[in-house]
Amino acid sequence: MKHKLLPIFDNLAQLHKNHLHVVLPDARFNHDFHYCLNFLKSYTGSQGTFNSYRRETERLLQWSWHIKGITLADLKRPHIEDYLHFCQNPPKSWISVKKVPRFIEKEGKRIPNEEWRPFVVTLKKMAIKNGETPEIEQFELSQGSMQEIFAILSTLFNFLIAEEYLVSNPVALIRQKSKFIRRSQQSAPIRRLSLIQWNAVLHAGETLAEDQPEMHERTLFILSILFGMYLRISELAANDRWVPKMNDFAKDSNGHWWFTTVGKGNKERQIAVSDSMLDSLTRWRLFLGLTPLPSPADNSPLIPRIRG
């Protein structure tokens, strides 16, 4: 009997109840599911990391169960090599042209979404800008994605060994990784703005803020804080675990200002705040009708939502 290709692992918010609504193709895969679920629970500190580990863990399970009909405990080095070739050229029925929720609510129950697929076609920004639409035939696994498969699966197998579910790491036994990963002879281009370019961006932001303050004072502050403190976008954006607040700017006993943020790997770090950044913060707060600088008790959002 052929089973439907259904998602296995839910999102972070539902992960603790995942076992209640997962549909496995066979009861003998229960151990695979529970061990891998525990593995994923070890990576819930960062949404991006969790998504990557979930994606690669799920793809391997789907292939093992549906294509080979075996458990993770049965996997050997040749299986992993077959799997890597499979990822480079998956069947069309495993590919989607859009991302969809893995699980959906239906008649009061949470069920696997039958429209979900393990692989998704992604277009470059320029192609999207030009109005192109994705086609299944356009699917291509990048070298970066292949490297990620090696890294994540090796971590997964080491976890399963530590849990005494497996006795060896079949990924580590692959000696000729060059069959799958090409080494570029060229240095990757440096993707950053020069100081001249940043000044042009900030000047444009100031012009917009002067012309349309209700819309673009916010824009100017975001640009100023990204430039002034070298933040990643993820360190400024609100998420399920952390929302930047005004009192994340704080003055120490020596009169120096610091900004506390939560960054990559869910790690907290403090950044020194320059006088020019304080000027930008003051301008932003005065626009919002607040005092020039925040007090320790000011836990209002640093960047309020435009809507809602």
Per residue in 52-77, pLDDT (tens digit) is 999 999 999 999 999 999 999 999 99
Furthest-apart CA atoms within the chain: distance in Å: 72
As its CATH architecture, domain 12-179 has: Orthogonal Bundle (1.10)
Return the pLDDT at 176: 65
Position 1 scores a pLDDT of 44
Residue 164 falls in which region: left (phi positive, over 0), alpha (psi -120 to 50) or beta: left
CA distance 243 to 303: 9
Which amino acid appears at position 230 of this protein?
Y
Give residue 128's pLDDT: 73
- Distance between CA atoms of residues 256 and 245, nearest Å: 18
pLDDT-based confidence at 104, cuts 50/70/90?
very high
Q: What is the pLDDT of residues 212-249, one digit of tens each?
A: 999 999 999 999 999 988 888 888 888 777 789 999 99
- The answer, yes or no, to whether residue 180 has pLDDT greater than 80, is no
Instruction: Write down the pLDDT at residue 290.
Output: 94
Backbone dihedral angles phi then psi of residue 209, each to the nearest 5 degrees:
-65, -35
Q: What is the pLDDT of residue 182?
A: 61
- Residue in the structure block whose two tokens are 């002879």: 185
Question: Residue 190: which pLDDT band, with cuts at 50, 70 and 90?
Answer: low
CATH homologous superfamily of 195-287: Intergrase catalytic core (1.10.443.10)
3-state secondary structure of 74: helix
Q: What is the pLDDT of residues 8-66, one digit of tens each?
A: 999 999 999 999 999 999 999 999 999 999 999 999 888 888 999 999 999 999 999 99
Whether the CB-CB separation of 292 and 286 falls below 8 Å is answered with yes
In the chain, list all ranges with CATH 1.10.150.130. Answer: 12-179
Buried b / exposed e across 251-282, counting CB within 10 Å, b at 16+? eeeeeebebebbbeeeeeeebebeeebbebbe
Question: 215 — phi, psi (to 5°)?
Answer: -100, -35
Task: Give the pLDDT confidence score for residue 122 in this predicted structure.
Answer: 85
Average pLDDT, the chain: 89
Give pLDDT, residue 189.
65
Please give the sequence-ordered ranges of beta strands (E in DSSP) within the chain, or none if there are none.
95-96, 103-106, 109-112, 119-120, 249-251, 257-262, 268-272
| pLDDT score for 177 | 66
CATH 1.10.443.10 occupies which residues in the chain?
A: 195-287
- pLDDT (tens digit per residue) in 255-290: 999 999 887 767 788 899 999 999 999 999 999 999
Tens of pLDDT, residue by residue over 115-172, are 999 999 987 777 777 778 888 988 988 888 899 999 999 999 999 999 999 999 999 8
